[in-house]
Chain A
Amino acid sequence: MTVFIIRRLMQAALVVLVMSFLVFSGVFLVGDPTEILVADDADQAERQAIIESLGLDKPFHIQYLRFLQKAAQGNLGESFVFNEPALQLIMDRLPATMELAVAALLISVVLGIPLGVIAGLRPEAAYSKIIMTGSILGFSLPTFWVGIMMIILFSVQLGWLPSTGRGDEIHYVLGFPTSLLTLDGWSHVLLPAVNLALFKLSAVTRLARAGTREVVHQDYVKFARAKGLTDRRVIFVHVLKNILIPVVTVLGLEFGGLVAFSVVTETIFAWPGIGKLLIDSIGLLDRPVIVAYLMIIVLLFVFLNLAVDICYSLLDPRVRLQDIKA
């Protein structure tokens, strides 16, 4: 296990290095930020001074090596726009996004698995067909449209829930700001979290249903029933533990997706997270922030993959981590 984790971390370092090159060169090609950063009425000398101060006059490979050198020291560059370290900007906003993603993940798991199991146990029942139709809507309706509709219904028409921001009552837990300790915070997170969760919820539901349908016909489920176990024990222990394996895999990877692609939801609900920061930074060609953001996301995915593999070995005794050639 330890050997497996160490080997995995070394691979992760390589992945991060390759990604940094791709991201850096990609962003380098996208456009020249000077046009946006330099005021229109600046003269040639001022313009030149700004370009030099940002290091944009150097050739690509020098810029990249300089970036790597600083990155190794934990400095992913300073934002052109905010004049703050890019990493700091992201870290300031990351907790809000994490909060949103965790809430969305909880919703998908807490609702998705039971719905999927119910639909899988009685696939012909009317309620199962309703669940499956709902899941098709869930991942085919565009997130932004659903988000806007939710705001119109719950915030504007009914006035039940706030439509923007994460509330004012921010508390610190272990140094991380969170608004989930108060009812007000939950009322703020509910709409965006449901919006963000909708796609994953549908995926989890379908996955749990497919898993259930497969597992209930296995001999070991019939044998469990032949032992005289209650239906409850058969479903919650024998079936559930088996369908969790694919669900955990997908959820682990999807969680990275939730964090990385919460952009749309954060924009609609004015949620002060990294997704919104990314959109703003792309608009302003704020290169260090974009690069830093993508690097963080790469790290997140690498870490989640590792976590999924470890969960796997806990759920399925047949998996031995040493054997996995990742």
Chain B
Amino acid sequence: MAKSDVPTLEVRNLQTHFFTRAGEVKAVNDVSFTVRPGEVLGLVGESGSGKTVTGFSIMGLVDEPGRIVGGEILYKGENIANAPDERMRRLRGNNIAMIFQDPMMTLNPVLRVDTQMIEAIQAHENVSRDEAWERSRAALEQVGIPAAEERLKSYPHQFSGGMRQRVAIAIALLNKPDLIVADEPTTALDVTIQGQILYEVQKLCEETGTAMIWITHDLSVVAGLADEICVMYAGKVVEHGTVDDVLDNPTHPYTHGLISSVPSRNKRGQPLSQIPGMTPSLLNLPKGCPFKTRCPRVGPDCDIEPEITHPVPARDVRCHYPVAAGEAAAVPTPEVTA
């Protein structure tokens, strides 16, 4: 994959907070990463870890009471964090597109598919309806929808879930964006459809050189798809590196826990290991490392917020006691008491 010098997107110390009545929720708290053309970045974490809010921050779609309060989002060198509305509108769907999680909800139920595709083209380019229609048809064929001409005249409820997600992907591809933010686009689909869509998205990205941020909680999806991986926990990136490195040799206890809780054939018959406890409430984070209450390697330094260190080359980790290579067994598998 060709990697040019100017990254498609560079996020630096992004902070997106929600100012609720109960207090300030630091949904994204100091997140940094870089995506280069043609590259796929996997953004992994549990529910509430801030991965979706990161995606919406990039799109400039954070709703009240949320606000980007710090950091930079550099799109090809231009800072678009808190950019004027009209500038963001021109970027959205044109340069940066997004695919949502639930295909049953992303298409407007009362508008025909062609309406929803043509408007996406005409929002950015002054083209005739016929030309936009033709491009929409081509986009549907590109994502593997048969009888595209007929399908354009249908309403969303006449499509299956997988087909709707293909339509959403086709819409995202319409204006040939440089970057696609995909927010768990295959989570709501069954496994066979998920496989097809993953394969097709990967192919499309390779063909068009589109960079992608793939938000998911499913490590197996990231393993096959992404080049780099960011593991998020409580609004922070806790581990960042290339996908093979991180999955083979996780250094943060949280990443380690995530990976060992994936079912596999080798663990047949044994109880699955799990990370004890739940994601802490973002309103009431423990002082220091937010993972310390669930961490098997917790130590005296954990009351101090860990800075980014590089325990192995080309890896960013936020932990005072990273797991060393080969030390994997040292992390005790928590007893399943349930």
Chain A interface (Cβ < 8 Å from any Cβ of B): 218-231, 233, 237-238, 241-242, 245, 315-318
Asked if B11 is at the interface (CB within 8 A of a chain A CB), the reply is no
Q: List 8 A-B contacts (CB under 8 A).
A: A219-B105, A220-B108, A226-B59, A226-B93, A228-B93, A229-B89, A317-B110, A317-B157
Contact assessment for B120 and A219 in the assembled complex, using a CB-CB cutoff below 8 Å: no
Contact assessment for B92 and A225 in the assembled complex, using a CB-CB cutoff below 8 Å: yes
Q: A241 vs B116: C-alpha distance in the bound complex, in angstroms?
A: 13
Query: Per a CB cutoff under 8 Å, which of A220, A225, A229, A241 touches B105?
Result: A220
Contact assessment for A218 and B97 in the assembled complex, using a CB-CB cutoff below 8 Å: no
Contact assessment for A242 and B61 in the assembled complex, using a CB-CB cutoff below 8 Å: no
Query: Per a CB cutoff under 8 Å, which of B59, B93, B107 touches A220?
Result: B107
Contact assessment for A237 and B111 in the assembled complex, using a CB-CB cutoff below 8 Å: yes
Contact assessment for A227 and B157 in the assembled complex, using a CB-CB cutoff below 8 Å: no
Minimum distance in angstroms from B22 CB to a CB of chain A: 16
Contact assessment for A219 and B90 in the assembled complex, using a CB-CB cutoff below 8 Å: no
Query: Per a CB cutoff under 8 Å, which of B102, B109, B120, B155 touches A227?
Result: B120
Q: A233 vs B89: C-alpha distance in the bound complex, in angstroms?
A: 12
Asked if B301 is at the interface (CB within 8 A of a chain A CB), the reply is no
Indicate with 1 or 0, residue by residue over B89-121, a CB within 8 angstroms of chain A CB atoms: 111111001101110011111111000100110
Q: Which of A218, A221, A228, A229 has its CB near the most chain B CB atoms (within 10 A)?
A: A228
Contact assessment for B92 and A226 in the assembled complex, using a CB-CB cutoff below 8 Å: yes
| A220-B107, A227-B120 known, 4 other contacts, Cβ within 8 Å | A224-B108, A225-B61, A226-B97, A229-B89
Contact assessment for B89 and A316 in the assembled complex, using a CB-CB cutoff below 8 Å: no
Minimum distance in angstroms from B156 CB to a CB of chain A: 9
Asked if B246 is at the interface (CB within 8 A of a chain A CB), the reply is no
CB-CB nearest in chain A for B90: A228
Contact assessment for B109 and A220 in the assembled complex, using a CB-CB cutoff below 8 Å: yes
Which residues does chain B contribute within 8 Å of A223, judged by CB atoms? 98, 100, 106-107, 168
Q: A316 vs B101: C-alpha distance in the bound complex, in angstroms?
A: 24
Asked if B124 is at the interface (CB within 8 A of a chain A CB), the reply is yes
Query: Per a CB cutoff under 8 Å, which of A228, A233, A245 touches B92?
Result: A228
Query: Per a CB cutoff under 8 Å, which of A224, A225, A230, A316 touches B109?
Result: A316
Query: Per a CB cutoff under 8 Å, which of B105, B123, B157 touches A233?
Result: B123
Q: A153 vs B76: C-alpha distance in the bound complex, in angstroms?
A: 64
Q: A241 vs B115: C-alpha distance in the bound complex, in angstroms?
A: 13
Which residues does chain A contribute within 8 Å of B168, judged by CB atoms? 223
Minimum distance in angstroms from B53 CB to a CB of chain A: 13
Q: A227 vs B91: C-alpha distance in the bound complex, in angstroms?
A: 9
CB-CB nearest in chain A for B106: A223
Q: A315 vs B110: C-alpha distance in the bound complex, in angstroms?
A: 7
Q: A222 vs B55: C-alpha distance in the bound complex, in angstroms?
A: 13
Which residues does chain A contribute within 8 Å of B92, judged by CB atoms? 225-228
Contact assessment for B109 and A242 in the assembled complex, using a CB-CB cutoff below 8 Å: yes
Contact assessment for A317 and B155 in the assembled complex, using a CB-CB cutoff below 8 Å: yes
Main secondary structure of the interface of A (DSSP, over half): helix
Q: A317 vs B123: C-alpha distance in the bound complex, in angstroms?
A: 24
Asked if A233 meets B109 with Cβ closer than 8 Å, knowing A228-B124, A317-B155, the reply is no
Asked if B171 is at the interface (CB within 8 A of a chain A CB), the reply is yes
Which residues does chain A contribute within 8 Å of B90, judged by CB atoms? 228
Q: Which of B85, B106, B124 has its CB near the most chain A CB atoms (within 10 A)?
A: B106
Interface residues of B in 35-66 (CB under 8 A from A): 59, 61
Q: A241 vs B85: C-alpha distance in the bound complex, in angstroms?
A: 24
Which residues does chain B contribute within 8 Å of A237, judged by CB atoms? 111, 119
Minimum distance in angstroms from A283 CB to a CB of chain B: 49
Contact assessment for B94 and A228 in the assembled complex, using a CB-CB cutoff below 8 Å: yes
Minimum distance in angstroms from B112 CB to a CB of chain A: 8
Q: A241 vs B171: C-alpha distance in the bound complex, in angstroms?
A: 21
CB-CB nearest in chain B for A238: B108
Q: A234 vs B271: C-alpha distance in the bound complex, in angstroms?
A: 49
Q: A219 vs B89: C-alpha distance in the bound complex, in angstroms?
A: 17
Contact assessment for A233 and B119 in the assembled complex, using a CB-CB cutoff below 8 Å: yes
Q: A233 vs B105: C-alpha distance in the bound complex, in angstroms?
A: 19
CB-CB nearest in chain B for A218: B105
Contact assessment for B119 and A229 in the assembled complex, using a CB-CB cutoff below 8 Å: yes
Minimum distance in angstroms from B159 CB to a CB of chain A: 12
Query: Per a CB cutoff under 8 Å, which of A219, A228, A241, A245 touches B111?
Result: A241
Query: Per a CB cutoff under 8 Å, which of A218, A222, A227, A238 touches B123?
Result: A227
Which residues does chain A contribute within 8 Å of B123, judged by CB atoms? 227-230, 233
Indicate with 1 or 0, residue by residue over B230-254, a CB within 8 angstroms of chain A CB atoms: 0000000000000000000000000
Minimum distance in angstroms from B207 CB to a CB of chain A: 22
Which residues does chain B contribute within 8 Å of A241, judged by CB atoms? 108, 110-111
CB-CB nearest in chain B for A222: B61
CB-CB nearest in chain B for A240: B110
CB-CB nearest in chain B for A244: B110
Contact assessment for A316 and B110 in the assembled complex, using a CB-CB cutoff below 8 Å: yes
Asked if A227 meets B110 with Cβ closer than 8 Å, knowing A222-B61, A233-B119, A317-B157, the reply is no
Indicate with 1 or 0, residue by residue over B72-95, a CB within 8 angstroms of chain A CB atoms: 000000000000010001111110
Contact assessment for A228 and B120 in the assembled complex, using a CB-CB cutoff below 8 Å: yes
Q: A315 vs B111: C-alpha distance in the bound complex, in angstroms?
A: 9
Q: A242 vs B107: C-alpha distance in the bound complex, in angstroms?
A: 12
Q: A231 vs B107: C-alpha distance in the bound complex, in angstroms?
A: 17
Contact assessment for B100 and A219 in the assembled complex, using a CB-CB cutoff below 8 Å: yes
Q: Enumerate the 6 nearest inter-chain pairs by beta-carbon distance, A residue then B residue, closest first.
A: A228-B93, A219-B105, A227-B93, A228-B92, A317-B155, A227-B120
Q: A220 vs B164: C-alpha distance in the bound complex, in angstroms?
A: 12
Which residues does chain A contribute within 8 Å of B105, judged by CB atoms? 218-220
Which residues does chain A contribute within 8 Å of B119, judged by CB atoms? 227, 229, 233, 237
Which residues does chain A contribute within 8 Å of B61, judged by CB atoms? 222, 225-226
Which residues does chain A contribute within 8 Å of B59, judged by CB atoms? 226
Minimum distance in angstroms from B61 CB to a CB of chain A: 6
Query: Per a CB cutoff under 8 Å, which of B94, B98, B111, B112 touches A238?
Result: B111
Indicate with 1 or 0, residue by residue over B274-306, a CB within 8 angstroms of chain A CB atoms: 000000000000000000000000000000000
